[in-house]
Structure 1
């Protein structure tokens, strides 16, 4: 049977946009800020499975454009903006667009309960869950700011609303048997913890988060994974099928669910069979770059994390993320297991991650006040271990995402990686009109100016046997830095945040430092709906091909071309303010409270009975 072609993906590929409208039009691709209508649902547009309706996008006024006659850039697959030589620097417009979106996001929030209910109905096409009024009161009592922004919960919960109740019951039983999890039972307004990881400190911390409102929660049981990543992938055709039946007021049949979750329903290997198209053949970025003079930047961070829209992260050695190194055929199903991290197409339920979380007041109590911007080092700082995948002789460890950043920043490096060359072409601004042009520098010169990056601790997660000496090869083939503590890098203006086996648990803490965070990830945060790329942090591609360009833009070039230190300082301050005001324990509580109300409705035999009138 001929496969369905994604209509949005088909019409969005390789379009040109004039730069005067670029900032406004790019919002079409940014899920976290678009006020989306209930048909199609918020999460279908976010995943690029259905085109937006005519009233589903709020076009912001374009920021002031310098030299409006400069050449246009091009929005291309994988959520990227391809720079045109002679155009305005893309980061300028990405920052201006981000500022407009953040301003709009805050201005449009509901200020009354009735307005919040109305917005809920508009976004999700259904009534809020029972208990919504008390949730709203709690959110107001802790001065929660983004009262309408819970699209991530909708993305996680909606698939279950289309499953037959008996399948949901089976999934809950399966989650309860996870041998690396802790379990919460809420009964009569009290909570208790059980399960294999009940002794974990993080389980107790989770329990403390729900204490202020547990008396308002209905009886329930839920299961929280202790793993770094989620256990399942939810296919694109499943998401479309969910949308179809929910619009009809129905649920999927068991036969439909069985077919949609079948790993053999199409011939593609591994996670790629979760995509509507064969991503490796559909997008040219899945292959090594033919033109090394191409400069691109992430314009849609959510889409750039998708292996369907950005398949280079699957199998292009220079861009591959270690999560996909073995092409593991994850289960294709919706799992009611709560997880702290999962890929963009994950089928489990994200909860606020508590691992390494450090509230701002505790951060400053431990590390002192923020180091003044002008007193910091301009170099970008990162230290980390060789997590990210399991290394053996069947896989070239040199192409792991953490090892690639080390070799990029180290003399010599992996000479088989086309991004690690003796000479590097960097995008720089012409001082006369602000247009961009390429300028070539030696990699050693760039690293001397920009980089303070190193692996530490020796090789981990590698084979060490008589037949496989991968650990020893890594130990001999890499230069190792000194061990560091959490305080390392806090006096740098720029910090890298890079995935390990799952998401990086450092992100919140690094943002609190007031530095600019260059973030390379394929894992959405639980609060990604609240974070705006280029306003709170700077997203970086998995091959780091945009890193030198971004550093040159903010810091300036080795030969003295000026950078935009003022814009960098502003982003760092905005990041710090976000963690102080909107990444508090109270914000996590508001999220969990609402998530649990949605979860109760999800597992209810009769969904309507768990819905407000």
Structure 2
């Protein structure tokens, strides 16, 4: 009898453990019922979700290029050890070819039907209703080819697997409970808030609200009428008269939530995202019970690697935390999700490596050294490659300008950067010395040792680091300790370890030929001004922006590795040797600077940002529509 009792007890324990494992493990998401359909609005069969990539060119594995010992890898890097041409010359040549191919592809789009076909081929479904109205927006480039602006379309895929009523409820909940949210509700003309009247040919400025009548939008939420809210209104209000009239008379009215946080908000498990996107492409939604179970499953784990596909390096490292890791979880819940903290390690030895594909390189799933649990519909200021946020058009710093200085008249040939120590909180608990801005400062002020330079003539030369920095770099943190803990002595540590440099006016910064753009608390708000300054912009970032697929590396700007290990070789290619006995390729730098200026003047204009907002509203309209078939393009 005792033996039977023990056997029964053992069986009971095993059954309980199995049940716990089944219900709590994050990978045990329920298989969605593909027979529960919402009205079909797709035309292609559902396929396995691909990583959220926006780069026009992808290299898988290690692929050889004709010039000597050079290869691409799947982490976005171009490795070079020998050849007849300098690796940067090869990258610039390929960028020029990519630019020509992109313009030719855009030129082939002759009608809205052509653009709709491109949308379907790129995203596996038809565009949203009102797509024909994109003809109303005066933009010759961006709406023409949806596949070149995926950030206005692709992030909605997973949301389309959720019932519209649930998403509307979540928007209401965000507006009522989230202190970082404001919402815009679209209503018929004359029924909106006082001061919001604006026609399509007008500029709206918050300072003249008292001389404007009621318009087409009601502003609500904790951050209503904040400066970021007003920035958003300045590009949204002029497009409202151009939208399909139905949008202004919906019942319930269309309400869009915007986040004012500096960084991304959402992150879901890759398995959840893949199943959600598959449902969306099939025109179906999660059954209520399965969706609830899947979302509850994600509440028991937290970690960057949960958002990664199964076969990626970060996923296989097993570096996640569960709810029992209370200390780290509390840090994450209080906004201390520091993707800025990077433990630098060279991925390959021998030869040189440069960033060829920034979209792959900023993918932390592929590059583990770059190190909310339900889908909440809100438009964020920025995101990383695997966040679930819908990306908006943040206008912080976008309208700043500097006087034009021709390339030949710029007096300073050095690399320039100044910035405050944002990007992380500085405390004993946080590895702030590994944050992106601190690393840039330490990299640019460490004068010990020597540098093995690859010169423009392909010769190698060992040069004292002091000589390299003196010749080429004027880079450093400014302003003193910020975002630091006085209590644990971290502010004092910063003051002691960092030799803060003086501030420099942006007009004086434009006198340098080369400038650096690096993330702070989120994306960099100075990027547009730097591109417009007729400089070569060296950019290091983890935050893709709404226009990124149109922006071509080595053509409009120069991407730099996160550990800055390629920086000296890059500047040497353009400027020659520090001593001046070997000339660089100053003429190619001049061309890149001109391309950057052209990009701002042709593809990052006010109407370009409004056009992106226009498409964003159309996608949001379909997402919150009960009948997504009717809310899709019928042309």
TM-score bin, normalised by smaller chain: 0.7 to 0.9
Q: 1:505 aligns with which of 507, 511, 525?
A: 525
CA contact (8 A) 2:403 2:533 kept: no
Where 1:518 maps in the other structure, the secondary structure is strand
Q: 1:236 aligns with which of 256, 259, 270?
A: 270
**1:273 and 2:306 equivalent?**
yes
Q: C-alpha displacement at 1:115, in angstroms?
A: 1.7
Q: C-alpha displacement at 1:282, in angstroms?
A: 4.6
Give per-residue Cα distances to partners, 1:508-548, cap 9 Å, x unaligned: 11100010100110000111122111111111111111111
CA contact (8 A) 1:42 1:123 kept: no
Where 1:93 maps in the other structure, the secondary structure is helix
**1:101 and 2:106 equivalent?**
no
CA distance in 2, matches of 1:279, 1:266: 22
Q: 2:364 aligns with which of 291, 304, 307?
A: 307
Where 1:44 maps in the other structure, the secondary structure is coil
Q: 1:209 aligns with which of 227, 235, 260?
A: 235
Q: C-alpha displacement at 1:182, in angstroms?
A: 2.1
The match for 2:323 is none
- The number of equivalent residue pairs is 528
The match for 1:340 is 381
CA contact (8 A) 2:228 2:260 kept: no
CA contact (8 A) 1:381 1:494 kept: yes
Cα RMSD (Å): 3.1
Q: 1:275 to 1:385 in 2, by over 3 A?
A: same
TM-score norm. by structure 1 comes to 0.79
CA contact (8 A) 1:351 1:592 kept: yes
**1:442 and 2:499 equivalent?**
no
The match for 1:16 is none
The match for 1:119 is 118
The structure with the largest alpha-carbon Rg is 2
The match for 1:389 is 424
Give per-residue Cα distances to partners, 1:188-220, cap 9 Å, x unaligned: 141232322223233223223223331335031
Of stretches 282-291 and 223-232 in structure 1, the one that deviates more from structure 2 is: 282-291
The match for 1:13 is none
Q: C-alpha displacement at 1:39, in angstroms?
A: 6.6
Where do residues 99-498 of structure 1 align in structure 2 (5 Å cutoff)?
99-109=96-106, 110-135=109-134, 137-139=135-137, 141-144=138-141, 147-148=144-145, 149-176=148-175, 177-189=177-189, 190-215=216-241, 216-217=243-244, 218-219=247-248, 220-258=254-292, 260-261=294-295, 270-277=303-310, 279-280=313-314, 282=316, 288-289=345-346, 293-314=350-371, 331-358=372-399, 363=401, 367-411=402-446, 422-429=449-456, 431=457, 436=458, 438-465=460-487, 468-498=488-518
CA distance in 2, matches of 1:440, 1:556: 14
CA distance in 2, matches of 1:89, 1:198: 53
Q: C-alpha displacement at 1:454, in angstroms?
A: 1.2
Q: C-alpha displacement at 1:492, in angstroms?
A: 0.7
CA distance in 1, matches of 2:258, 2:358: 27
The match for 2:336 is none
CA distance in 2, matches of 1:611, 1:79: 35
Give per-residue Cα distances to partners, 1:348-394, cap 9 Å, x unaligned: 111111011117xxx2xxx4333433533110100001111111112
Give per-residue Cα distances to partners, 1:152-182, cap 9 Å, x unaligned: 1222111111123344234323432321222
CA distance in 2, matches of 1:276, 1:287: 23
CA contact (8 A) 1:3 1:276 kept: no
Q: Which runs of 5+ in 1 are unaligned?
A: 5-36, 60-64, 315-330, 413-420
The match for 2:599 is 578
The match for 1:82 is 79
Where 1:98 maps in the other structure, the secondary structure is helix
Q: 1:341 to 1:279 in 2, by over 3 A?
A: same
Where 1:312 maps in the other structure, the secondary structure is coil
Q: 1:253 to 1:441 in 2, by over 3 A?
A: farther
